Structure 1
């Protein structure tokens, strides 16, 4: 996972937290997505870190009791799913 990348949310995606979980609406595809508690934490870390993956990783390591390599893989998987769904763009920082 290249932690020097930066994530930007697609302009067509609207996010709203409902009962501790994030609900996403992609206006382009008219699809709804629901994030569980961990997905919501990652989404919020991306927002707080202005998309910088190194910052996201460090923030999540502070929040969760998890090995760094496990978190890197989980974060990478999550980012890939968001990218495949057209919810984000990934750029070099």
Structure 2
């Protein structure tokens, strides 16, 4: 993952916040995905900011976490969304 990349949301994915957590529905595969509180915060930051660097900075301000841990967790999260076909990212 390159923090200069921008997240692109796939048009067939609908997101709805329910009881503080995000529920995602991929209309193409008809699969549901649930995000916990932190995943929801990252998803919302990805919608709000332009680059993963800005998402990283926002999460760093919001949570008491070491930069290396956050970068790995953000990378893992983005990769899971990519593999599930819920997002795309701009090329490096």
TM-score between both structures, scaled by the size of structure 2: 0.96
Give the total of aligned pairs: 92
- State the shift of 1:2 in Å: 1.1
Other structure's SS at 2:77 match: helix
Kept in 2: contact 1:25–1:32 (CA 8 A): yes
Match of 1:69 in 2: 68
Map 1:42-57 to 2 at 5 A.
42-50=42-50, 52-57=51-56
Q: Is the 8 A contact 1:4 1:92 kept in 2?
A: no
Q: Do the aligned residues in 2 keep the contact of 1:49 with 1:55 (CA within 8 Å)?
A: yes
Give the deviation of 1:89 after TM superposition.
Answer: 0.4
Which consecutive aligned stretches of 4+ in structure 1 deviate over 2 angstroms post-superposition? none
Deviations 1:28-75 (A, max 9, x none): 00000000001000000101104x101000000000000011000000
TM-score in terms of structure 1 length: 0.95
Please, what is the CA RMSD of the aligned residues? 1.0
Match of 2:22 in 1: 22
| Structure 1 unaligned blocks of 5 or more | none
Corresponding residue of 1:13: 13
